[in-house]
Chain A
Amino acid sequence: MKTKTTNYHFNSGIKLESGESLSAFDLVVETYGELNADKSNAVLVCHAFSGSHNAAGELNNDGKLGWWDEIVGPGKAIDTNKFFVVSPNNLGSCFGSTGPTSICPQTKEIYGKDFPDISVLDWVNSQEMLLNKLGISSWACVLGGSLGGMQALQWAITYPDKIKRAGIIAAAAKASSQNIALNEVGRESIRKDMNFYEGDYLKKDSFPKSGLKAARMLAHITYLSEDNMNKRFGRKMQDAESKVDESVDYQVENYLQYKGEKFSETFDANTYILMTKAMDGFDPAKEFNNKLEEALKKVKAKLLIIGFKTDWLFPPERGKEIQLAAMRSEISSSYLELDGKQGHDSFLFKSKRYEDNIKAFLSS
């Protein structure tokens, strides 16, 4: 698979939904496969909350595969032998694109808490600038899971002429009260970490690691299904030798401790707050009298909406709502409800049906 990592600099800047703007910004982008002669095979994959531009293959030769490696690659659901797959790291993230850990060109200091709020629409707008920079007139498909699915939906609404298909997977047209509540617990644990310094921790050479770790541990539970956790960990006790912490009794505790620890070593706390805020604020129907069908009226893309039965973070009903609204607005749209064992995270894992369905949708 031909893989390329490129840093795109946008010196024209971007005006953000919040009213603020960035005078310039960078997007780091991985691409897989090759653009065809008539530039009709470009597929944008949008990452969820903690993802990066590394969707497929290994980024650092560290054995760690991209977040959608089961789905993106040669012969896979999104076949890089057929499609030119574009995977940017989102604005405000912490894996190379401009975000809270970047240096502000005006102050020459790390943005930290001064980095502006970013919305799903801002991501889509920045990705549209990327599309122009690549010299492509429209995406054959934009797809993603979770927060990535929200971007795909926003794409279909905001740029109807620049997207042929949208794959909206394990997503919702807006965050529920429960989604916001869970995010707020995560944010609170970061904010109340004594090393947070109101978000200016990097300037103080500090990092709210324990707060970020606790936030991730809670969030991680919401990505899994109860059944899958029971099967995987049950009430099994952790061996004394392999405990990450003395206080750990059960395997599931050890697992969460380990996952939270790893995450807090590589992720940025301000980015965590920014990403959860973007998810909470997503609501494209808001400016259409809260009628999603009105928001979808101008959509030209065909929509494929997929929900997973074991997902309780964005349960299948949330996807069904999008499809129903699309149908009321006479938009071509399909809705699938897949089994998926892994709860919300099911969108990351390959299954025969999932692969067949995405392939069929992309080939139609």
Chain B
Amino acid sequence: MNNPITNIITKWIEDNSRVIDFGCGDGSLLTELRDKKNILGYGIEIDPNGINECLKNNISVIEKDIDDGIDEFVDCNFDVAVMASSIQCLKEPNIALKKILNLSNKCIVTIPNLGYWRCRLALLLGRMPVTPSLPSSWYGTENIHLCTIKDFEDLCKEEDFIIEENMHLNKKRQVSSLAKLMPNLLSCEGVYLLARK
């Protein structure tokens, strides 16, 4: 699998972990983690096509709208929760993150960066930004809580989330040393491994 985000997540997750993937899509991340890291995975998904692909790929999948709440998973004791490209679609992402870190020791999130220079430029020119991590037009997007890398890291500080690892990606969604230099301006997307204090 060549998806760089999948590669990063795979590196961060230890062998035999118990993983829950919120918004697991077709289950490809969980499939990769199962095959490479022998994890026990569960995916949460609302899209019927994604769900059916999970079933085909032998991935445990739970049909659920994350906005309806995730309290039921609290005593499931996961090692890692993954929330790749969906945190900004939730009604209350700060509360969701807190809850996720209640049901799991660690949490991996990806954040499309609205502070990316191309987004700033687009707005400067009077247009809504469209980037590889924010691919939809303003009327087609599911994103309702966009933020910049700085905003996100501020939230982590406020909520006492420890940032154990982070990676910053360029517009090709590759790990980039340039993006690492000034992530808020130069990275298109951030990937974070968070833990509770």
Contact across chains for A353 and B56 when beta carbons are under 8 A apart: no
Contact across chains for B40 and A364 when beta carbons are under 8 A apart: no
Q: How far is the CB of A90 from chain B (nearest CB, A)?
A: 28
> Does A337 sit at the interface, judged by CB under 8 A?
yes
Provided the pairs A327-B42, A336-B63 are in contact, do residues A357 and B52 lie with their beta carbons within 8 angstroms?
A: yes
Q: Which of A324, A336, A360, A364 contacts B72 (CB 8 A)?
A: A324
A334 to B53, CA, bound (A): 12
Contact across chains for B62 and A335 when beta carbons are under 8 A apart: yes
Contact across chains for A302 and B58 when beta carbons are under 8 A apart: yes
> Does A363 sit at the interface, judged by CB under 8 A?
yes
Name, among B51, B52, B63, B64, the residue most crowded by chain A CB atoms within 10 Å (CB to CB): B63
Contact across chains for A364 and B55 when beta carbons are under 8 A apart: yes
A330 to B77, CA, bound (A): 10
> Does B132 sit at the interface, judged by CB under 8 A?
no
Provided the pairs A357-B51, A357-B52 are in contact, do residues A334 and B60 lie with their beta carbons within 8 angstroms?
A: yes
Closest to A330 in B: B40
Closest to B42 in A: A327
> Does A263 sit at the interface, judged by CB under 8 A?
no
Chain B contacts for A304, CB-based, 8 A: 55
Closest to B43 in A: A334
Contact across chains for B52 and A328 when beta carbons are under 8 A apart: no
> Does A361 sit at the interface, judged by CB under 8 A?
yes
A-B CB pair tally, cutoff 8 Å: 50
Q: How far is the CB of A297 from chain B (nearest CB, A)?
A: 14
> Does B18 sit at the interface, judged by CB under 8 A?
yes
Contact across chains for A334 and B56 when beta carbons are under 8 A apart: no
Within 39-84 of B, Cβ neighbours of A (below 8 Å) are at 40, 42, 48, 51-58, 60-64, 72-73, 75-76
A356 to B54, CA, bound (A): 12
Interface residues on A, range: 20 to 34
Q: Which of A320, A333, A363 contacts B60 (CB 8 A)?
A: A333
Chain B contacts for A332, CB-based, 8 A: 40, 58, 60
Contact across chains for B76 and A327 when beta carbons are under 8 A apart: yes
Name, among B40, B60, B61, the residue most crowded by chain A CB atoms within 10 Å (CB to CB): B60
Provided the pairs A330-B18, A334-B60, A334-B62 are in contact, do residues A357 and B72 lie with their beta carbons within 8 angstroms?
A: no
A328 to B18, CA, bound (A): 11
Q: How far is the CB of B129 from chain A (nearest CB, A)?
A: 36
Contact across chains for A360 and B63 when beta carbons are under 8 A apart: no
Contact across chains for B61 and A334 when beta carbons are under 8 A apart: yes
> Does A323 sit at the interface, judged by CB under 8 A?
yes
Provided the pairs A327-B42, A330-B18 are in contact, do residues A360 and B61 lie with their beta carbons within 8 angstroms?
A: no
B residues engaging A (CB < 8 A)? 18, 40, 42, 48, 51-58, 60-64, 72-73, 75-76
20 more A-B residue pairs beyond the given contacts A336-B61, A336-B63, A353-B52, with a C-beta to C-beta distance below 8 A: A302-B58, A324-B73, A327-B73, A330-B40, A332-B40, A332-B60, A334-B54, A334-B60, A335-B61, A335-B63, A335-B64, A353-B48, A356-B52, A357-B51, A357-B52, A360-B52, A360-B56, A361-B55, A364-B55, A364-B58
8 contacts between A and B (CB under 8 A): A302-B58, A323-B62, A328-B75, A333-B42, A334-B60, A335-B63, A357-B52, A364-B55
The 7 closest A-B pairs by CB, nearest first: A360-B55, A364-B58, A360-B56, A335-B62, A334-B61, A336-B63, A332-B60
A residues engaging B (CB < 8 A)? 302, 304, 320, 323-324, 327-328, 330, 332-337, 353, 356-357, 360-361, 363-364
